[in-house]
Structure 1
């Protein structure tokens, strides 16, 4: 895939980070500087990236994780075929320590052991924008935001102020009998009510999940999303969002007669995802103002149902999982001292989570709730200095409370350079699966939240001449990390729940520590009117720091030490105007697949080529070749990865 953020976009981002005036001119809901619609990026003094509509169009289609993997500090692992479990790690944090928000809705799966979001079913065909905030950020977001936050915006409502209807549709075919269809419509034909509608379909024969397998494991998904924005008078705005995705992926397992080695089976999984939210916002000064006072109330939910089937043992599911979370939140935003010197953001939230898992052997049901209060001050003592500080407290019904702090500062050094530094804390609440007290299950109700302390210092360079450079050094110390332990009689200490004999197969406990530290360098330059070059490099060291452990000092699994991304883009002028050609390169260094550092994953290089050509003003013909040199590699041991893949397609925009 190609680099997800491009020089023209990132130069503007760098300028926005250095120029409050430019940032405040943008629309508050969908501006180029809003990270997750909580705080403008120029005020966070954090490391962040944006994949905008230009980058998404250039990517053409595919899985969102492949595009996000091109951003600094990110590594993606996928279990085999398209639709296989896909984890995204930011700065070496676990995949479950990345918070994912889709149109304001938190979308982790409470029924999974780690409670994280599986990127396997997130496709870019119905997405307008992706924002990535790197580093611990629990202050405004709460649990899970230890590695960072990924905020996804789906089809946005019409926002050009007219009542016309616009849209775009695409269709493509490619390797392994892959077919993709997607479309988006935007309209404000109903006056103050604006709508965005998106839909997508993908089907592929896929590859074998098992690297040694010969049978392809296919994937199919149908999805639809809807957004609405309605203004009531001059001061009230209503927003609504809904997304539904139905997916089916074929799996591999441990076939007879030995049941001991990973190989071809006929198993498959069906997943149904429902996400929705409704928001009412009041701006006493008018909906078109960005300063003064505003407040909003939102209710959202995420519902994920998974069923696994094995035709060799029957037609009914052999495993089912039902996870649901509901969140009611209130937040306010107040600007004082002229609107640009002091700003207060605060909020209160209540989240309820429910989970049910069942199999032929056992079932488990759980529910909990968490109440949160947070507040932050954004100050600008001088034209060149910005400071943000805040505190958050989360009260969990089962494990108790967690308080987190954050502070950062940014100082402009002339017109070209901004120096920034930050200290942030993060936490992750134990999941319902990990807390379960059901006899015969694996949970431990005495678990504490995972905690992290993150430090960062960086320099941003940028000009109006089409170049930028961002350098950041960071460290994150994590404690109380939850891991699975054995319960049979042995030397102390053991979790108290082991003493009752209710955990014959083991349980979870807060036993691990880890340290992640590294450097990120990101840059881009417009070489001339036609050529742009962008790239990033991440140096990452993530090690086990558990005192007394036999694994202390080992590298954590599936974290390459070196990751490089680069993209060269050609947009010619003259007779070929409208043509877009890009060459992207990604390198991931060697890593290990296990904590014991015994199973090695070799380094690899991936090269992708993309091109599009305008047939008319409204219709483009496009194509791409991914893994151009047919690199043989793995991101998860024993799982296959796709070889060279060619795709051609056409899209129509009006």
Structure 2
């Protein structure tokens, strides 16, 4: 196996290949919602024939809710919790079904985009493109994607030229000195489908330190391009490129652990993602072969005073930390379609070979500044069958060979059945794995943290079962799902008299809950989307029980930054052939736990629940010119996603959009 591993990694020395097909549309020819992330075959699967829990947020929802920061619209997805340190550009984490933020796999146009340094994607870097949509696939998906997909998969997909042709320009301004602009050029010319887009978001920001006066702002730039060339009916070549740049202010904590004004402190993040995919269909389209190559390269540098405990008014601002992460990945997926029109079957074999690399570029503490590497090869087998477009069953298994950790085998089975009454039963069960991050293994901060190279991968097993119902000829859809997961060898931070380190917890933790969703597309352009999540996810947490005596201990509490109750509802009116559209969005986040590090370990604190009300409206002056406006946090809620980080109050924005 060592020889095979070496050979496959050598073949992947060029930028490697994607796992999800980036050129599939969001709907089929009949307008039915389809998903591509639920299978490695490269085929789009109807959402009502998927046993797993999937939510698709389409481009209309993006437009009606005037989404500018992608993490905001993810608050409307069942099972998803969002936390951001202050304003736009602040670190933004997504937790699914109680899993940690680094246990969710994130794809952008099929490219795995997590930073190998932290093995996590910071959603604070992602500004929404014009005409995009998202697939959120919940539950363990390691049998398809390998490490990281314990909580699920988020696949952010930009539209092709065929889906949204033409030229569009958008400019808006508003509260906190904010300006946002976007441009897109797309279309089809002969056998070439192309789409180019750019986004820019600047904000002066607002004080994120409670009681502070320093505005914490950011600049975000995004450039993306997608081209699909079809030189023959059975041959398709897809290329994707993406660049993002963020320069964002940050605030530090003082010696009491409280966020304070920190003039000049900021970070810069630059990322490049690239993908090349070729698909050749043989045997009259029954045998598809896809070879994909992708690369992700992320650099992050933080600028702070040389000594974080010195007065800030007489200390120079300089680079105090930096990381550089790179991932190259190569994949082959072959899918053989057989059976009849009544019984459709697909057998898929996929091979992934990837190399993740990371290095610390700047350290105040004498950390190792060289490269570290992890090599992995995964072999996937998958079988799917659909009977009379009513019963669907799928099973997948994956084995990984890893040069640093063990060689895990993961699995998944799922099924869906539609009754004549419009009722749909669906269920799934599977396992997941999450390799320790480079940070957990090797980070070094003198007197504060020392990595643990002996960590084992985290492992998860779980199941879900749900029931859905369509009404009024499919115009209304309801669904309720119960899930139950168990996480073994969970990695957590433990504290000693000389600092802290990461360890694997003994035993297991359990995450279970209920997800409910409802959607309705009614007459005269009315659209309603609603979601509710109940989550019970206790975990052992090391805390200071009594700051006066420094008494410490371990308690079982609901996981940090995971509210037990989260809900949202969006009511939109977008009548066809009318000039005016509007959307009312209400998002509720229940009380949740966090940790306050005035002592080490920190003390447990409680963040109160909050409700955000947003109002969005658009008016078409002509067929090509629209003006729009929105008010966010209409109620002026004062709340925190992360303890001692203030968030925005009521804010208003307005702008114009022109299409050609």
**How does the TM-score come out when normalised to structure 2?**
0.86
1:455 aligned to which of 457, 460, 463: 463
The answer on 1:106 being equivalent to 2:112 is yes
Equivalent in the alignment of 2:347: 344
Q: SS where residue 554 of structure 1 aligns?
A: strand
Farther-moved stretch of structure 1 (555-564 vs 121-130): 121-130
Q: SS where residue 281 of structure 1 aligns?
A: strand
State the Cα distance separating 1:425 from its structure 2 match: 0.8
Q: Is the 8 A contact 2:28 2:34 kept in 1?
A: no
State the Cα distance separating 1:277 from its structure 2 match: 0.6
Equivalent in the alignment of 2:19: none
- The total of aligned residue pairs comes to 600
C-alpha distance in 2, partners of 1:334/1:612?
47
C-alpha distance in 2, partners of 1:435/1:553?
25
Q: SS where residue 182 of structure 1 aligns?
A: strand
State the Cα distance separating 1:42 from its structure 2 match: 4.1
C-alpha distance in 2, partners of 1:89/1:344?
32
Change (3 A) 1:310 1:341: same
Instruction: Please identify which structure carries the higher strand content.
Output: 2
Aligned pairs (5 A) from 1:425-440: 425-436=431-442
The answer on 1:154 being equivalent to 2:158 is yes
The answer on 1:587 being equivalent to 2:588 is yes
Q: SS where residue 393 of structure 1 aligns?
A: strand
Equivalent in the alignment of 1:363: 367
The answer on 1:555 being equivalent to 2:562 is no
Equivalent in the alignment of 2:331: 329
Q: SS where residue 282 of structure 2 aligns?
A: coil
Equivalent in the alignment of 1:218: 217
Equivalent in the alignment of 2:138: 134
C-alpha distance in 2, partners of 1:622/1:466?
28
State the Cα distance separating 1:448 from its structure 2 match: 1.4
2:262 aligned to which of 251, 260, 265: 265
Farther-moved stretch of structure 1 (406-415 vs 368-377): 406-415
Change (3 A) 1:652 1:439: closer
State the Cα distance separating 1:60 from its structure 2 match: 2.1
Aligned pairs (5 A) from 1:27-176: 32-35=34-37, 38=40, 40=45, 41-112=47-118, 115-126=119-130, 128-158=132-162, 166-176=166-176
Equivalent in the alignment of 1:8: none
State the Cα distance separating 1:315 from its structure 2 match: 5.5
Q: Is the 8 A contact 1:173 1:647 kept in 2?
A: yes
Q: Is the 8 A contact 1:283 1:293 kept in 2?
A: yes
C-alpha distance in 2, partners of 1:222/1:37?
32
Change (3 A) 1:55 1:84: same
Change (3 A) 1:272 1:90: same
Q: SS where residue 407 of structure 2 aligns?
A: strand
C-alpha distance in 2, partners of 1:584/1:79?
22
Change (3 A) 1:597 1:570: farther
Q: SS where residue 35 of structure 1 aligns?
A: coil
Q: Is the 8 A contact 1:607 1:626 kept in 2?
A: yes
Q: Is the 8 A contact 2:634 2:651 kept in 1?
A: yes
The answer on 1:570 being equivalent to 2:568 is no
Q: Is the 8 A contact 1:426 1:451 kept in 2?
A: yes
The answer on 1:275 being equivalent to 2:277 is no
Q: SS where residue 563 of structure 2 aligns?
A: coil
Q: Deviations over 1:21-68 (max 9, x none)?
A: x987579xx973333674624443111111111111112241100011
Unaligned runs of 5+ in 1: 1-21, 489-503
C-alpha distance in 1, partners of 2:390/2:28?
16
CA RMSD in angstroms comes to 2.6
1:482 aligned to which of 480, 491, 496: 491
State the Cα distance separating 1:199 from its structure 2 match: 0.4
Q: Deviations over 1:385-406 (max 9, x none)?
A: 2211121111111112111111
Q: Is the 8 A contact 2:65 2:585 kept in 1?
A: no
Unaligned runs of 5+ in 2: 1-25, 306-311, 543-551, 596-600
Q: SS where residue 180 of structure 2 aligns?
A: strand
C-alpha distance in 2, partners of 1:382/1:181?
47
Equivalent in the alignment of 2:299: 305
Equivalent in the alignment of 1:195: 194
2:612 aligned to which of 595, 603, 606: 606
State the Cα distance separating 1:223 from its structure 2 match: 1.5
Equivalent in the alignment of 1:407: 413
Q: Deviations over 1:176-199 (max 9, x none)?
A: 11000001111333x322211000
Q: Is the 8 A contact 2:365 2:444 kept in 1?
A: no
State the Cα distance separating 1:159 from its structure 2 match: 5.4
C-alpha distance in 2, partners of 1:37/1:405?
13
Q: Is the 8 A contact 1:155 1:197 kept in 2?
A: no
Aligned pairs (5 A) from 1:247-266: 247-254=246-253, 261-266=258-263
State the Cα distance separating 1:323 from its structure 2 match: 0.8
C-alpha distance in 2, partners of 1:185/1:404?
42
Q: Is the 8 A contact 1:544 1:551 kept in 2?
A: no
Q: Is the 8 A contact 1:36 1:104 kept in 2?
A: no
State the Cα distance separating 1:571 from its structure 2 match: 2.7
C-alpha distance in 1, partners of 2:339/2:390?
16
Q: Is the 8 A contact 2:351 2:379 kept in 1?
A: yes
Change (3 A) 1:333 1:69: same
C-alpha distance in 2, partners of 1:26/1:392?
34
Equivalent in the alignment of 1:177: 177
Equivalent in the alignment of 2:234: 235
**How does the TM-score come out when normalised to structure 1?**
0.87
Equivalent in the alignment of 2:502: 508
